[in-house]
């Protein structure tokens, strides 16, 4: 039994090592995509086509912050050896829904659904912080 536990522990360490390497590579790719998105935003701001610039810039900024949040999640996972907290993931969900709410155009029912989802996530974070010790 000890031999089996020792083998399982070695296998888990090898998998953890490869997971951390993969997260590092993914983080580097996210940084590259994030900075390339900055160039896209700059190109749109400099362009002479002024008709659809506000919506294009807003869409590109939302995409930039998506890459930024994924990068933050990867950094958090790397700091904690591949694990992220539930509180952090719920906060990411709140910010993602807020971003969708900001960029929502029309469709009042969809806006209401997003607002209720944000409220439920905030209530969940409060309950998690007040009553559940992880």
b/e sequence 87-115, b meaning 16+ C-beta within 10 Å: eeeeebbbbbbebeeeeeeeeeeeeeebe
| DSSP SS3 for 110 | helix
55 pLDDT above the threshold of 80: no
CA angle 22, 80, 26 (to 5 degrees): 20
Whole-number percent of the chain with pLDDT over 70: 91
Residue-range domain boundaries for the chain: 1-80, 85-134
What local confidence, expressed as pLDDT, does residue 49 receive? 67
pTM of the model: 0.61
Give the pLDDT mean for 39-46: 78
| DSSP SS3 for 132 | coil
pLDDT digits (tens, 9 = 90+) for 71-99: 888 887 777 776 777 777 888 888 888 87
106 pLDDT above the threshold of 80: no
């Amino acid at each position: 039994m000890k031999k089996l536990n020792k083998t399982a522990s070695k296998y888990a360490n090898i998998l953890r090592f490869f997971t951390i390497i993969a997260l590092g590579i993914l983080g580097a790719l996210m940084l590259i995509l994030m900075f390339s998105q900055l160039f896209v935003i700059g190109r749109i701001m400099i362009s002479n086509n002024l008709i659809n610039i506000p919506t294009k810039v807003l869409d590109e900024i939302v995409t930039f912050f998506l890459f930024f949040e994924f990068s933050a999640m990867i950094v958090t996972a790397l700091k904690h050896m591949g694990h992220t907290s539930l509180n952090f993931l719920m906060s990411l969900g709140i910010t993602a829904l807020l971003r969708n709410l900001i960029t929502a155009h029309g469709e009042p029912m969809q806006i209401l659904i997003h607002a209720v989802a944000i409220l439920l996530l905030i209530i969940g974070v409060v309950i998690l912080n007040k009553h559940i010790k992880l």
